[in-house]
Structure 1
Amino acid sequence: GEFFFQKQTRRNNRQIHKLSILKGGIRKRNQAPFEVKGFRLFDKVACKGEEGFIFGRRSSGFFDVRKLDGTRISAGLSCKKLHLLEKRQTYIKEIRKEEALPPLPDGRDLRA
């Protein structure tokens, strides 16, 4: 009655620095650091009695936690309320309950 749903994570497709260079030749970062308070993007965490993945990190220590289907558990949850279950991998996995198949159109069966 259950199955694994998996999704491939994105890697290295964001601009790291802003285009305008500040005085003194300092380049300003365009992203939050890779690891914030011990959590990274796409880490599997437990919060509010549910399992979710970190989809947004802020340098203040608050995180956007969602499930793989996109349902948001919390838009800004403190790192103190999160518990790390699993570090990120190339494929992130979620267990889903099997739902009933939708009815097929007339004249078609599963082998068509």
Structure 2
Amino acid sequence: KFVRKNNRQLHKATILKGGKRKSNKAPRFVKGFQLFDKVVYEGKECFIFGRRSSGYFDLRLLDGTKVHASASWKKLKRVEYASTLLIERRKGDSSPTFALA
């Protein structure tokens, strides 16, 4: 799954005098973690989909299933740094085998 690295929102609620807009970005690194890092939380591999300055993170799988809405950074272990291409291993059945008649 490919992900963007920029924030595209152009308009904030109030523009200050002088025409300077407010910054719309959260800090890139929070407690050493960034968006889309692959982490292990309670034995499950997942991705950081949201970060809070308090050090809590929204953890999800690539299909969007929530693992935890607000997990503490103390319970996370980074497996892989973020890149624009996220890769997740999925367990599944192999293709069925057919007996030749």
TM-score, with length taken from structure 2: 0.79
CA contact (8 A) 1:52 1:67 kept: yes
Matched, 1:52 2:10: no
Give the counterpart letter for 1:97 in structure 2.
K
Over 6 Å off, 4+ runs: 23-26
Q: What is the DSSP-based 3-state SS (H/G/I as helix, E as strand, rest coil) of the residue aligned with 2:90?
A: strand
Q: Which has the higher strand share?
A: 1
Task: Pick 1 or 2: higher relative contact order, CA cutoff 8 A, min separation 6.
Answer: 1
Number of aligned pairs? 95
Unaligned runs of 5+ in 1: 1-6, 102-112
- 2:60 aligns with 66
CA contact (8 A) 1:66 1:74 kept: yes
Unaligned runs of 5+ in 2: 96-101
Identity %: 58
Across the aligned residues of Structure 1 and Structure 2, the Cα RMSD in angstroms comes to 2.2
What aligned pairs does 1:22-33 form with structure 2 within 5 A after superposition? 22=16, 27-33=21-27
TM-score, with length taken from structure 1: 0.72
CA contact (8 A) 1:16 1:31 kept: no
CA contact (8 A) 1:34 1:40 kept: yes
